[in-house]
Amino acid sequence: MLNERKGGNGLSSFDISRTPPLSVQDGRSSRPLPPGESAPPPQEPAQPVIRVRGLRKSYGAKQVLKGIDLEAYPGQIIGYIGPNGAGKSTTQKLMLGLEQGYDGYIEVLGHDISDGSSEYKARIGYVPETAEIYDMLTAREYLAFSGQLYGLPREAAERKAERLLALFGLEEMVDRRIDAFSKGMRQKVMLSAAVLHDPDVLFLDEPLSGLDAGSVAVVKEILARLAARGKAIFYSSHIMDVVEKISSRIVLLHDGKVAADGSFAELQARSEGGSLERIFTRMTGFHEQEAIAERFCGTVAMTPEQLAEEASGENERP
Ligand SMILES: Nc1ncnc2c1ncn2[C@@H]1O[C@H](COP(=O)(O)OP(=O)(O)OP(=O)(O)O)[C@@H](O)[C@H]1O
């Protein structure tokens, strides 16, 4: 497992201690000891909060995950990336117990999730890719409801909800029904619901969807602070520059397998450098963007006559 720390995370005030303790130990052991000072006792490596081994998942004949191995440690932000349909959301849903029927082993917070226990779920937060949110409820009611599901007393959940929503600039909206919320406002409600109970592990599927630039900056800072408090954050997104900046480790899923797993610096070293976007396109073998765009625009410009002509040509073919 790669534990190297990434420099230049782009987040202003933070030392995001997102790597497992091995790198801390390495750092310590390389420091020359002053005379008279004894070496500190060796630290126990932290236990992974997520451990996945040989994970396979199929939908009918389609094999989506073909043997995934991965781990996440307290304090890490794992950027989970991959092309559309690669199986990122599926992996998250399997780890959350929302999707059934898999081969392999999934352990979350020390629990084999197939053992039927659910207490560990109270220590997990989730922002799904598509919000299934109760539109008829007000934001306050929705968050109080979510908080109670995670074991918070209603009054505490409401008070916390009010504060979190106000910090997201939604103080005026707290008692409005969610069906009156914009996309970005809904996302802020989802983010607040996911963290209301102060979970130890956060699963985020495109958490910045619909957020304006200022809100993106706020959420990046929030994630950095949560990670610095020891939360493990499993972060799936297509916004490569954000993944590049905030992740302590990046896991690239391609063709149902983990194609790369390491810090951004390590991925760069393996892939002739460049931005994460460039590394992504190189590692997923995607070089056809110009040709596809050309054909796409050509199709957009086709007239009904041209389409009919093309169709009759196809019909005439033997
Ligand atoms: N409930 C389902 N039934 C059948 N096929 C499914 C189901 N859920 C997902 N799939 C298929 O599994 C594959 C992986 O889907 P998934 O949503 O996990 O991909 P993803 O990496 O999250 O994609 P994206 O980046 O587009 O969000 C896709 O081919 C999808 O069609």
Lowest mean pLDDT among 187-196, 242-251, 288-297: 288-297
Q: How far apart are CA 47 and CA 45, in angstroms?
A: 6
* Ligand 1 surroundings by CB, under 6 angstroms: 59, 64, 82, 84-90, 129
In this structure, is residue 307 part of a structural domain?
A: no
pLDDT, residue 318, reads: 63
Distance 59 CA to ligand 1 centre (A): 9
pLDDT, residue 32, reads: 43
In this structure, is residue 218 part of a structural domain?
A: yes
Q: For 58-99, how does the pLDDT look when each residue is reduced to its tens digit (9 = 90+)? A: 999 999 999 999 999 999 999 999 998 999 999 999 999 889
Lowest mean pLDDT among 9-18, 198-207, 287-296: 9-18
* Average pLDDT across the chain, whole number: 83
Rounded to an integer, the average pLDDT of 237-248 is 91
Rounded to an integer, the average pLDDT of 27-35 is 39
Ligand 1 atom nearest 99 alpha carbon: 1
Q: For 108-125, how does the pLDDT look when each residue is reduced to its tens digit (9 = 90+)? A: 999 999 987 778 888 999
Helix (H) or strand (E) holding 292: helix 289-300
In this structure, is residue 63 part of a structural domain?
A: yes
pLDDT at position 301 over 70: yes
Q: Which of 90, 206, 208, 243 to mutate to test the pocket of ligand 1 (most atoms within 8 A of CB)?
A: 90
Other CB atoms within a 10 A radius of the CB of residue 117 amount to: 10
**Residue 304 three-state SS:** helix
In this structure, is residue 97 part of a structural domain?
A: yes
In this structure, is residue 133 part of a structural domain?
A: yes
CATH classification at residue 61: 3.40.50.300
- pLDDT-based confidence at residue 151 (cuts at 50, 70, 90): confident
Which residue intervals of 196-288 are DSSP H helices? 213-228, 240-246, 264-270, 276-283
Those residues whose C-beta lies under 8 Å from the C-beta of residue 13, and which sit 6 or more positions away, are none
In this structure, is residue 297 part of a structural domain?
A: no
Those residues whose C-beta lies under 8 Å from the C-beta of residue 71, and which sit 6 or more positions away, are 1, 48, 50, 51, 52
What is the residue range of 131's domain?
50-284
The answer, yes or no, to whether ipTM is higher than 0.90 is yes
pLDDT, residue 158, reads: 93
What percentage of the chain has pLDDT greater than the value 90? Answer: 60
In this structure, is residue 315 part of a structural domain?
A: no
In this structure, is residue 24 part of a structural domain?
A: no
pLDDT at position 317 over 90: no
Q: Which of 58, 81, 88, 205 to mutate to test the pocket of ligand 1 (most atoms within 8 A of CB)?
A: 88
More confident residue, 32 or 114: 114
Q: Is the full-model pTM beyond 0.90?
A: no
Distance 256 CA to ligand 1 centre (A): 11
Q: What is the DSSP string of 19-80?
A: S-HHHHHHHHHHSPPPTTPPPPPPPPPPPPSEEEEEEEEEETTEEEEEEEEEEE-TT-EEEE
Q: How far apart are CA 196 and CA 156, in angstroms?
A: 10
For the chain, the domain total comes to: 1
Q: What is the largest CA-CA distance in the chain?
A: 92
